[in-house]
Structure 1
């Protein structure tokens, strides 16, 4: 641990009010998995000896094969980022002549921008307050004659209504694309994440469970879609300078990123086990703090235990954003859960205006706490203690904050 001061005894001890911050190094909510370095070098040596550094090299092909096996799906296509994998999957799957894409508002802050890249209008749906995710009913309310695609986004903890959303798409003849960025390791009652709907999109950003430095991939059981995506990521070329499809770009994954992803894929079960130990500590110690509820994983299915999300209940003395600011000052890099929601943001592109009262309420109650490979069990104990201090002194802290705002 890298702690400067382990106890806060009065308000002025809080870094937000001028005291010394708790941690010398930031404690983030990102995974930042650091695999065995020698294994990474072993993989890297394979492409280096072949002198094949990009353009569908040996390691990229190996990674795609192993990811398809990992997700129990027929095809996997990798990309330089999850962003471009999602854009190209949306453009490939969306019904032609239709203009809208259904998605939750309580999700990744740039999700609507991704839809705009694909020239579709975001149509935001409500979420189920119990799961923080869309389901067949909330998505179904948004279906109309202009619906081109349902973008089914998994929440940060557990999965969305997979079976219901797939059935909804089949009933209406609308493609369903899952954004499974936070669900690499998850399973549901109908199988493992990766083979649902028309396709699923994943990220290999360093902050995600499967760290490839940067990158992304799409899994599918549709051979035509897989072939199209593979062409689109490589300028649309098939063979030497033969432009087989329009709309292609350079979105290829390179070999060194594939090497990092393969190394972490080898260790992904151990990473999930480390996450579980951190989660268990939070689960045990948060029970003693009034006003905070841990969003628990459904452990009847496989899960990565990656994200630690808590709800601040009505009895918690501070607003969520105030709590986040105080924690951040201590180098506890807590984050608001998808706030503000997308329908509340100003957008410079076409979208369907929405009034989502449930989403508005939920977007002010949840936050992420530090987790991942840079957080030790002892660090979690210190985070718990600072939360206890904030909760116990919340009235005085709120008063001090009001005085600050008024001055």
Structure 2
């Protein structure tokens, strides 16, 4: 199976998994309506899935560093779907928590190994990793539509239908792994290009945390803030949130393309510099110009997304699974932990005051990237000729 076909299938399979990351929060309104959950109980459901998924990802990454386990792609996909499918089958709060935790475990099992497989399938291409990341972002954004269509029609008793994306995703991932010409390649490991650079990986992880706090904070409160700024219209808030998510689709692919011309550190650095001005515009610029600022914010935050994954892998070339688990899981979860703090500040002051500190975080990420070197590994400038050749094998936008 050619690289282009493999990355396409892996990207769609990624979307089928990340649907379940977005599905948990999308189920909350239905749990509140049908089971009369309070805010604390509803938050517990989201936390059960998010914490297990985020904390377990580095553990699965460490395990796959010892021995590649591509079978985790279809198995993790099925586990993620099964947990959500069963979450509405019982009125027991404890069983509901268990089901979403099982789904989180499936998500955790899938991501580190899938990032390693995507890296090998794309032959080190930044553009290939961009397309792979795009699939996950698309799945997350489509989750509310899927949950509303299914559960909004038949109630929580219809949640078993939500297993369908998992069945599709498992089949697509299995097709990649079963291809004879790919099987041996994807069950191996990429050759380590030098020693681990733990100091650079730590700085990178801190930059990913900054990005996560900004994006999650805006995702949580942008709809309310835009409605306030644009006359109280809920449609205005929904439109602003849609722009934030749709911009991510463009940014994920654009990041890979830009990294083919300049190195990843430079692209990430300029992206975060753009994000400083864009987030400031979201918070302070009045009127419809808010939408332009949201679009620029989305692009600025998503361009580095896939590049940070490959940078982490190159900073820890002997522990690619661990690097993937941290950059895709553990650091991202911090954003979710920061959102309640933003809400408390907003309750005590105003939403604008609570969102204003977010402007500083892309600036901190920019400073961290100024201290980062471009690795000379497979994805670095030393590997540019191979990466350029590999980019010709990925889908064109």
TM-score, normalised with respect to structure 1: 0.29
Higher relative contact order (CA 8 A, sep 6+): 2
Q: Which has the larger radius of gyration?
A: 1
Of Structure 1 and Structure 2, the greater helix share is in: 2
Higher strand share: 1
